[in-house]
Chain A
Amino acid sequence: MLVEESVEETIRQIVLKVVRKPDVDFTATTKFKDLEADSLDMVQILVAVEDAFDIEIADEEIKEIANMGDFIAFIKRKIADKG
């Protein structure tokens, strides 16, 4: 549980740092567009998350991601798949 919370917190910190909104309310239903993330933000978020968890994310894999809850769940699956 602690590990899962750590993943979530790391992702939260990365996203809010990249979109330059450190104090925004961040919930599972928050969407990237709610954070006004542009295409450069998205690339920088993905690169930072890849680095943080030593995973690789294909653009195609995140096309259906609707909100932060989905994104965090997806990253947790990638980490689990890595073993």
Chain B
Amino acid sequence: MENRKSLKGKIALITGGSHGIGRSITLKLAAEGSDVIINYFRKRDTAESTAQEAREKGVAAHIIKANVGDPEKIDSMFNEIEAKFGRLDMLINNAASGVARSALELDSRSWDWTMDINAKAFLLCAQKASKLMPNGGKMVSISSLGSQMVIPNYTAVGVSKAALEALTRYLAIELAPRGISVNGIASAAVETEALKIYTASLGLPQPSWQTTPVGRMVQPEDIANVVAFLCSDEAAMIRGQIIIVDGGRSLTPVGYTPTKSDQGGNLAEP
């Protein structure tokens, strides 16, 4: 795609924007010309490093420490954004956390922790962000196919992602008259360090099991590219949709990877 720096002069907040998928989104939006505000939770060094990478693309980058599961921290973060930037053009709700337990083992505090960060944070951030978007804006939520599937010990995260997707639709309709578009992205397992740690903690096979019909795992950059598209004017009439980015994984039976022999050569014989 031609690099037109389509987001030049815009300001984006990426929650959890310092590492993994969030880092790729931050750097993609920076490459498209947007100034970036990187929200991080605990790893300042990583946030500083990602901010520096963004600056090398010729944009401004600012880091803000905040646990988005805490409403007071969200208030502080947006107060800082308003004081420093005065407005916001894009909100990328990417920060996620979760306690890996089965439904019957899940306790109240683990449920609340996961739901607060993965779902409620988008509600509160969207409410705050919309006030900083008087001339319209874009919001994108990062979900996962786990919102619709049953994955061992993924209960709290899966439910939180389902709530996040429903919230994305509600926000899209409420905010459409104000020129704010809201969409989401649901991906298959993305090849990140977090995925390796998660699968290892559950005793599941390492990520290579998650092959797709395309023949590779989803990469953070695959998600970032779709975020940039949803933030572009070309996506103006896409509202409240959850875009699946999985290389066709969700359309195929488990373990099925097409080969050239699946391409119907016999049927094509004259």
- Name A's B-contacting residues (CB within 8 A): 40, 43-44, 46-47, 50, 56-59
Contact = CB atoms under 8 A, between A and B. Distances in A.
B42 A40 contact: no
Contacts of A46: 42
Chain A interface mostly helix, strand, loop or mixed? helix
B109 A40 contact: yes
18 contacts: A40-B99, A40-B109, A40-B110, A40-B113, A43-B42, A44-B113, A46-B42, A47-B42, A47-B67, A50-B42, A56-B42, A56-B44, A56-B65, A57-B42, A58-B42, A58-B43, A58-B45, A59-B42
A9 B13 CA distance: 37
Interface string B85-110: 00000000000000100000000011
Interface string B101-134: 0000000011001000000000000000000000
Interface of B: 42-45, 65, 67, 99, 109-110, 113
B46 to A, nearest CB: 10
Nearest to B70: A47
A46 B65 CA distance: 14
B66 to A, nearest CB: 11
Contacts of B65: 56
Contacts of B67: 47
B270 to A, nearest CB: 63
Contacts of A40: 99, 109-110, 113
Nearest to A18: B109
Nearest to B114: A40
Contacts of A47: 42, 67
Contacts of A44: 113
The 6 A-B pairs with the shortest beta carbon distances in the complex, nearest first, are A56-B44, A40-B99, A47-B67, A40-B113, A40-B110, A40-B109
Given A43-B42, A56-B65, A57-B42, 11 more contacts: A40-B99, A40-B109, A40-B110, A40-B113, A44-B113, A46-B42, A47-B42, A47-B67, A58-B42, A58-B43, A58-B45
A46 to B, nearest CB: 7
Contacts of A57: 42
A54 B90 CA distance: 29
Contacts of B113: 40, 44
Contacts of B43: 58
A56 B65 CA distance: 10
A25 to B, nearest CB: 23
A58 B45 CA distance: 9
A15 to B, nearest CB: 15
